[in-house]
Amino acid sequence: MKDYIVRATACNNQIRAFAATTTNMVGEAREKHNTSPVVSAALGRLMTAASMMGSMLKNEKDLITLQIRGDGPIKGLVVTADAKANVKGYPYVPIVDLPLKENGKLDVSGGLGNGIMNIIKDIGLKDPYVGQTHLVSGEIAEDLTYYFATSEQVPSAVGLGVLVDRDYSIKHSGGFIIQLLPGADEEVINKLEERLKVLPSITNLMSKGKTPEEVLDMLLEGMEPQILEKIPTKFQCNCTKERVEKALISIGKKDIKEMIDEGETIELNCHFCNKKYYFTVDELQEIISYAQGE
């Protein structure tokens, strides 16, 4: 089954809701970065959130970047999504081994530790919008719930889950974001809070084969949910040799000259997808000539 997001409203437009299945996307990220289970879970949760937040963007060229920096052994994560819900991401440290928590779940909060989350929206303005929040739990869903409430003043409920199989592959991955729109009735708020209390975890629902549509039906039971749109989402990196070359120019002529003096082809990796790019001595010479305006 392909990954996708459903967008819905409920209670006569007092609630907007998103739910996603992202198993393939997170599986591809795991393969590209060779992540250990706890890192797969952390990266997968953030990528799932980014896919839904990307689908909230209004213009085709808009981008959103979620960046976590923590004092735990994972160190941090960076994930970027566009308005078409194409997502790419990477962990600072791909392999981390931690004991399971007492409830048998992967210790994502222990992996990330204490730190901050930055939400960067590039929506065509002179400067990107940057929101920042402290990690309140390091479990990512709670951190985003806190971010929406404090930075965007939108009361929200976020659920994210990644189930890693014994062979380290991704068995299930998905999530939801439910948001109260301005002027929501107290009765609607209470009803939603009651539904959230009794809903099983997102991984539990997905392991039972529930689709994003069924997850929203359960979450918004009795609130007349209406599915508005189904949006494909996938892992997609837009790196090219030309982009990597621009990054190479930015490191400065002195460093490029040292590479030329070593007389060997150099290898550079894209952070997001681990694709390798090679530059020969002749190509480096061309780059330095271009940088000098010759």
pLDDT attached to residue 224: 92
**Mean pLDDT for the chain?**
93
Pair 46, 89: CB distance under 8 Å: yes
Cα dihedral sign, 214-216-218-224 = negative
- pTM for the structure as a whole: 0.93
The burial of 166, by beta-carbon neighbours within 10 Å (0-12 exposed, 13-18 middle, 19 or more buried), is given as: exposed
User: Could you identify the residue written with the tokens 């099983």?
Assistant: 200
The candidate with the shortest Cα–Cα distance to 44, out of 122, 142, 160, is 160
Higher pLDDT among residues 170 and 243, named by residue = 170
Q: For 156-166, how does the pLDDT look when each residue is reduced to its tens digit (9 = 90+)?
A: 999 999 999 99
